[in-house]
Amino acid sequence: MLAYLSQYWADYGTLLLDGTWDTIVMTAISVLIAYLIGIPLGVLLVLTDKGGLHPNRPLNAVLGWIVNIGRSIPFIILLVAIIPFTRLVVGTALGVKGAIVPLTVAAVPFVARMIEQSIADIDASLVEAGQSFGANTWQIVTKVYLRESLPSIIRGAAITFITLFGYTAMAGTVGAGGLGDIAVRYGYQRHNYDVMVGAVILCVILIQIVQSVGDLIARKVDKRTLR
C-alpha cells in the first residue's frame, strides 16, 4: 500500500497540487469580487424595497429583474456566452484568469439575494432602535444591517465558495484548469480512474474544510451564541 501511494504521488502529486491551487485561487478571487459587488447590490435591494428605508419601486423592480435573470442562466451557458466579455476584461478566456470573470458574473446575483435575505432576517426592532437614536442610512446599513447579519453573511460566503467550487469543473471544459478539469480530462477521458478518484477526494476535503471554517467563524461572531 505504501509503495502504491508513493508511486501515485510521484506520478500525479504535482498535477493534483497544481490543480488544487488553481481551483482555490479562481474560486477565492471570484468569491471576493462577487461579495464586493453583491453586498452593495443586496443592501440596495433592501433599502429600495416596499418596507425599506428608501422605498423606490421602479429601481427595486429593475434590480430584482436583473438579479433574477442572472440567477436563472445555467453556468455552462453563461460561461460560453460571455467569452468575448471575458477576453475584453482579462485578455483571455482560458486558464485561471479566464475562469474568474464568468465565475464572478454567476456569483454576484446569488450573493445579492443571500445578502438581501440575511438582512431581511434581522429583527425590525433593531432598525427602529437605530432610527430612534438618530442614526442615518449609512449608520444603519453598517452598524445594524451588516453587523447583525454578519454570521449569516459568513455562512453564505462558505456556501458561495462551495457553489463556485463546483462551477470550476464546468469552467475546466474551456481550459480553466483545476481539479474538475483534471478529474475529467486526465481521469475520465483517459480512463485513468486513479487520478479521477484522487481529484474527487481532494475536492471533498477542501469543501469540508471551507464549510467547517465558515461555520466556526460564524459561531465566533454570532452574539446569540455568546454566554
Give residue 122's pLDDT.
87
Report which of residues 130 and 63 the model is more confident about: 63
CATH classification of the domain holding 61: 1.10.3720.10
**How many whole angstroms separate alpha carbon 54 and alpha carbon 56?**
6
Domain count along the chain: 1
Residue 50 lies in a domain: yes
Residue at 192 is within a domain: no
* Confidence at 226, pLDDT banded by 50, 70, 90: very low
For residue 145, tell me if it sits in a domain.
Answer: yes
Residue 189 lies in a domain: no
Answer yes or no: is 121 within a domain.
yes
- pLDDT for the residue 186: 80
**Is there a domain that residue 227 lies in?**
no
Structural domain of residue 90, as residue ranges?
Answer: 21-176
Contacts 24+ apart (CB under 8 A), 18-21: 18/177, 19/177, 19/178, 19/179, 19/181, 19/182, 19/199, 19/202, 20/179, 20/202, 20/206
Mean pLDDT of 29-52: 93
Mean pLDDT (the chain, rounded)? 88
Residue 29 belongs to some domain of the structure = yes
pLDDT digits 0-9 by tens, 66-81: 999 988 999 889 988 9
Does residue 70 lie within any of the structural domains? yes
CB neighbour list of residue 26: distance below 8 Å, 6 or more residues apart:
96, 99, 100, 103, 168, 171, 176, 178
